């Protein structure tokens, strides 16, 4: 299931000329990407966002802040942005 979604997110992100991060404005997309983050954490496939350098964490926080102001949703969107950067090799 995740494989097809990952391909779709990568394709959308790479084809979106103005702002591929706009994909985060959809709560369903954030939920799917957040679940993917949890899957990555469970499998120890990527470092937790908490272990990233402060400037990287701030980058994802700022991106999420473009779409969400409520803290819980913004935290989820921050993790979703992290996953999106990983799967699109936009790091």
Across the range 61-78, mean pLDDT stands at 96
Query: Do 34 and 80 touch, CB atoms closer than 8 A?
Result: yes
Average pLDDT over every residue of 71-81: 96
Is the pLDDT at 33 greater than 70? The verdict is yes
Overall number of domains in the chain: 1
At a CB cut-off of 8 Å and minimum separation 6, what does 50 contact? 57
More confident position, 35 or 2: 35
What confidence tens digit (pLDDT) does each residue in 9-25 have?
788 777 766 678 888 98
Mean pLDDT value of segment 52-63? 96
Overall average pLDDT of the 35-55 stretch = 94
Range of the domain at 44: 2-87
Could you give the CA distance from residue 24 to residue 30 in angstroms, rounded to a whole number? Answer: 6
| Geometric angle at alpha carbon 80, from 74 and 85, rounded to 5° | 125
Interhelix angle 71-87/2-15, nearest 10 degrees:
90
């Amino acid at each position: 299931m995740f494989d097809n979604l990952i391909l779709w997110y990568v394709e959308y992100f790479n084809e979106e000329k103005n702002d591929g991060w706009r994909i985060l404005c959809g709560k369903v997309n954030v939920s799917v990407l957040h679940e993917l983050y949890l899957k990555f954490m469970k499998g120890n496939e990527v470092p937790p966002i908490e272990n990233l350098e402060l400037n990287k964490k701030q980058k994802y926080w700022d991106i999420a802040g473009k779409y969400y102001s409520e803290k819980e949703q913004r935290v989820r969107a921050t993790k979703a942005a992290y996953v999106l950067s990983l799967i699109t090799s936009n790091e």
